[in-house]
Chains A and B, each alone.
Chain A
């Protein structure tokens, strides 16, 4: 097992490479998730604002003149 980890003496080079690979792709995999959450959050806020403006602009209790 320790032979596996020491990689014939090249451990720092080999394992750092694998670590860089894993970390970079992990960051790349998580970015779309964060982008999606942000997009949905902004969308929700946008819709809430639109709903609020729609109810505000509707004049309250005004009927056609009778």
Chain B
């Protein structure tokens, strides 16, 4: 069998995933910290002040990566939710539910830092334009998924119900992304393009991309850590979990 496919199947087994994630975790955290430090140095020290916004533009280095992560995390959660509902893979349920609080944290940071950036530049902490409103709705969707997950007794059923809700809410993602295109918004339009020219100078762009990388790595680190902790509780009756505990208590 193709070794990649074999590895993929092995990944679905909780003890294998637990061990693999445990080995990767310190490296992921370290990579996130280092690339984050690099990005922040580039953004806070090396990049020049914006000709219009002055130094307040440096909030971009928090606001934009976290905004990107708020959408990415939801997509990740919905994709795993889909796998969990269609193929009933237990690990996908765990990963989907582990992604939710991290995504909510990033969305929260996006909204708060955006608000703090809006005050000096737009003159207001908040406005009900399409981008801000849809991002706020995204936060409520995260809260709904987390709330539903914690409200149902049986963990697996709870994960499936919450995953279903996450899928229903996926429709909000294109609304958030295209809100600046479809509506007249106070929030500025897209400046960073995946393909083609970006409308931001290079010495301001590279710290942004570095921090985008750092936040992605951090997301996966936090995800794996949360998934490991969740697996301990989920699989608490199994032998592999018992054998993790040192001492006589494990050998009943």
Contact = CB atoms under 8 A, between A and B. Distances in A.
- Are any A and B Cβ atoms less than 8 Å apart in their complex? yes
Nearest to B250: A47
Interface of B: 29, 44-45, 49, 54-56, 58-59, 62-63, 66, 101-102, 105, 108-109, 112-113, 116-117, 119-120, 218, 222, 225-226, 228-230, 232-233, 236, 241-242, 244-245, 248-250, 252
A17 B226 contact: no
A47 B236 CA distance: 10
Interface of A: 4, 7-10, 13-14, 16-18, 20-21, 24-25, 27-29, 31-33, 35-36, 39-40, 42-44, 46-48, 50-51, 54
B252 A31 contact: no
Given A29-B222, A51-B249, A14 B109 contact: no
A28 to B, nearest CB: 5
Nearest to B234: A39
Given A20-B112, A25-B218, A35-B230, 14 more contacts: A8-B56, A14-B55, A17-B116, A20-B113, A21-B62, A21-B66, A25-B109, A28-B101, A32-B225, A32-B229, A33-B225, A43-B245, A44-B249, A47-B252
Given A35-B230, A46-B236, A54-B252, A14 B56 contact: yes
Contact of B232 (A10, A13, A36, A51): A36
A27 to B, nearest CB: 8
Contacts of A40: 232, 244-245
B112 A17 contact: yes
Instruction: Label chain A's interface by main secondary structure.
Output: helix
18 contacts: A7-B56, A10-B55, A13-B119, A13-B120, A14-B55, A14-B116, A16-B116, A17-B63, A20-B112, A21-B109, A25-B109, A25-B218, A31-B101, A36-B225, A39-B232, A39-B236, A44-B245, A47-B242
B232 A17 contact: no
Residue from the set A39, A48, A54 with the largest chain B CB neighbour count within 10 Å: A39
A30 to B, nearest CB: 10
A32 B94 CA distance: 13
Nearest to A17: B113
A56 to B, nearest CB: 13
Contacts of A51: 248-249, 252
A17 B101 contact: no
B203 to A, nearest CB: 17
Contacts of A27: 105
A13 B116 contact: yes
Contacts of B66: 21
Nearest to A21: B62
Q: Which 6 A-B pairs have the closest CB atoms?
A: A32-B225, A8-B55, A35-B229, A39-B232, A10-B56, A7-B55
